Amino acid sequence: MATTPTTTSPPDPRGAPPGRPPLLTRLGAVLARRPGRVILASVVLLLVSLVLAAGTMDRLLLSRFESPGSESLRVEQRLEEGFGTGKHHFLLLVTAQQGTVDDPEVEAAATALERELASREGVAETASYWGRGGSPAMRSEDGTQAIITVRMSGTVTEARTALGDISPDFTREDEVMRVEVGGGDEVFRQAARQAQADFLLAEAIIFPLVFVLLVLIYRRISVAALTLGMGLFSVVATLALLRGFTYLTDVSTFAANLTLVMGVGLGVDYSLFVINRFREELARGAAVPEAVTAAVSRAGRTVLFSGLTVAVALSCLLLFPFPFLQSFAYAGVGTVLTSVFAALVILPAALALVGHRVRPRREPAPDSGWWHSTALRMMRRPLLWGLPALAVVLVLAAPAVGLNFGLPDARVLPPGNSSRDVQDQIETGFAQEEMDAVQVLVDLPGGEAGAGAIDAYAADLSSVEGVFQVDALTGRFVDGQRVDGPEPGAEERFGSAEATWLSAVPTAGALDDAEDLIERIREVPAPADTEIGGYPADLTDFREALLGQVPLVFGLILAVTFVILFLMTGSLLLPAKAIVLNVLSLAVMFGVMVWIFQEGNLSGLLGFTANGTLETTFPILMFCIAFGLSMDYEVFMMSRIKEEYDLTGDNTGAVAAGLQRSGPLVTAAAVILAASFATYAVSDVLYLMMLAVGMAVVILVDATLIRAVLVPVFMRLAGRANWWAPGPLRRLHARFGLSE
């Protein structure tokens, strides 16, 4: 039964409870009695995990921004089935070495290049400036460049794997022309390849870095190595779990990057807490087996609560109907499970074997020490300390009011990457974006019977602001007028017995707000039922579906977290306080991300190009991660504060003593976790750079201004109300509250 806080001092929770010992106490006793067997089984488990994890990276998949069941995806499927076409995935940028792309020798060489490309395995369809009768949408304004676009067959992973062979083969230069590879799939193929390289680089940085930090914390190499080993186990075991998931569903390549930082971070954090408690017990004079049992019993409850809150936050990503985001749920929950297992099973068994080498933690008494005196100082004058700290938090969070979600583009990679350089040339030299054409599918019979209706509709579409030209069965339209007849092969491209479709090529500037462009196209009166597809529509549908789930996901995270913290504390105010302070931490994270990555501050130092927006998926992912990790530290602190309050019934003294017990540990854990995320700040992929900077900032701010200042100040101002709950809820907590 959980202990309901009172003003009188209950029995010492460190003493043996009457009746059968709690589950965690029994677990600790078993591990202390049979450590050899546990270690042997753990070594076998690690070896099996290593074998499975070795093949994980090859099974992780790439993804596109597509929303299952969306209108744009239906259009893509209907175009493939009914017309043998669809949106194209990458392009070749052809630059004439002399003259223009209309010169006979350039045309001949480019036509031969297109034929060669069309014969490659995985290529389903090609189109070019020359093959489409000199389409202006595929030619640069000065005439020195033109494009060949390509649609790939197979899954996105199969397509980008084939592209990995095609790209170097078709990056070439001779005396007639220069050929470069770019386009959406090439950008994200290179980004995924760079993410895998960054994973290996981060591995080379993160383990030595964390080891050095642990040595500074423990001042003993053996204990530092043991703690880091728990993080390593979490990473390997989670990668093995991810391989299992790959046989059931799609798992994104980027999930491995999250596994590395969270596996090391949580594995080390939880181990820090257990070892800290073990050393405290040794300092009290306990023998190693008793210290192991007490550490699992007392610290284990906190680790379980912490793991539960992080797992809940990340598991809510499963509510998004996108394999890309769901992959991070698998990785995140996997790291929680493996980290908890390592900290509560493998680590205690290891301590039972080598615990005599662990130096006891001789720290100041709970009613003394720097953290204790600092907490009392702040609580004596809470407004003097709390208001400046709150002001700093609000200043850091202020840029978040200008948050502007946008669409991804080639700027996820820095200049110098070939696909980014190609896109920069297109944006500079082309007034339009053929690759990003909007596909308008019309349920109207093709041929002569519908020619007039098609002409009128195409003309109207070409008059829409942001549309450069419209290609249709009956010809090419610009500014409301037909300027050319049907292109070569128009009947094959646009004709069908049941429907036709039109290609609305946007201007480059129109893609800065693709949603408005799609909306303007939808508003054009159509001669029959229409559906909208193409890359801008894909991104628009994806974003709408994503943001449509955000209130449900965020609301569920807040509600479940509130319930968990209530079951832990028996209070209504403390869970509410935790959520409010977590929201402040998250506001700081979004403020920093807007100031740096949306507005472009520090872009020269970090090496990226801002586009005035933030891509939608990674901020949502970071919200879930940051919320869970902030609750991680909240649980660490509140478990010690509640323990002291249950002993004394003194709110102010319990806060100071609890901060003295948990403050150094939270600070150490935050530094290690922030350093783990920060290793990706050297990445060339903007998404990983955002993850690194945003998470490092929110972790450090949360562990300092929030936990070290605002928590004690708030609890001092609230006083005894911290522990209040109405009678029915007190009885509910007494019956169902979570305890060891």
d(CA 442, CA 454): 9
Specify burial of residue 401 (Cβ count, 10 A radius: 0-12, 13-18, 19+).
exposed
pLDDT in tens, 185-222: 899 889 888 888 888 888 888 899 999 999 988 888 98
Q: Of 370, 53, 429, which is closest to residue 233 (Cα–Cα)?
A: 53
d(CA 320, CA 307): 22
The model's confidence at residue 594, banded by pLDDT at 50, 70 and 90, is very high
Share of the chain above pLDDT 70, in %: 94
**Nearest partner of 345 among 691, 694, 700, 40, judged by Cα:** 40
Judge whether residue 59 has pLDDT over 90: no
Tokens, residue 149: 């676009």
| Contact of 120 with 162, CB cutoff 8 Å | yes
CATH match of 24-62+190-359+370-406+541-736 with 1.20.1640.10: yes
| DSSP tag of 708 | I
The Cα angle at residue 267 between residues 263 and 272, in degrees rounded to 5: 150
pLDDT band for position 270 (50/70/90)?
Answer: very high
Residue 506 pLDDT grade (very low, low, confident, very high; cuts 50, 70, 90):
very high
543-569 pLDDT, tens digit each: 888 888 899 999 999 998 898 888 888
Kindly calculate the radius of gyration of the chain based on its CA atoms and give it in whole angstroms: 30
> Average pLDDT of the chain?
88
Q: Each residue of 85-118: pLDDT tens digit?
A: 988 999 999 999 999 999 999 999 999 999 999 9
Q: Quick one: pLDDT at residue 365?
A: 61
For the chain, residues classed under CATH 1.20.1640.10 are 24-62+190-359+370-406+541-736
Residue 112 CB-density burial (10 A; 0-12 exposed, 13-18 middle, 19+ buried): exposed
Q: Give the 3-state secondary structure of residue 530.
A: strand
Q: Partners of 127 in the beta sheet?
A: 149
Q: Provide the 8-state DSSP code for 16.
A: P
Judge whether 389 and 149 are in contact, CB under 8 Å: no
Phi, psi (deg, nearest 5) at residue 480: 85, 5
Q: Which residues contact 229 (CB under 8 A, 6 or more apart)?
A: none
What average pLDDT does range 462-481 have in this prediction?
A: 94
Using a 10 angstrom Cβ sphere, with 0-12 exposed, 13-18 middle and 19 or more buried, the burial of residue 391 is: exposed
The yes-or-no verdict on residue 737 having pLDDT over 80 is: no
The per-residue pLDDT for 363 is: 58
Domain 90-182 has CATH 3.30.70.1320: yes
Position 575 scores a pLDDT of 92
pLDDT at 447 over 50: no
DSSP 139: B
- What are the φ/ψ torsions at residue 684 (nearest 5 degrees)? -90, -5
What torsion, rounded to 10 degrees, do the Cα atoms 62, 66, 68, 72 define?
-150
d(CA 270, CA 341): 10
pLDDT in tens, 700-710: 999 889 988 99
pLDDT recorded at residue 14: 42
Give the residue range(s) of CATH 3.30.70.1320 domains in the chain: 90-182
Range scoring the smallest mean pLDDT among 1-15, 161-175, 224-238, 509-523? 1-15
Closest CA relative to residue 566, chosen from 459, 460, 690, 724: 724
- Collapsed DSSP state (helix, strand, coil) of residue 701: helix
Burial 132-153 (b: 16+ CB within 10 A, else e): bebbbbbbbeeebbbbbbbbbe
What CA–CA distance (Å, rounded) separates 529 from 513?
Answer: 25
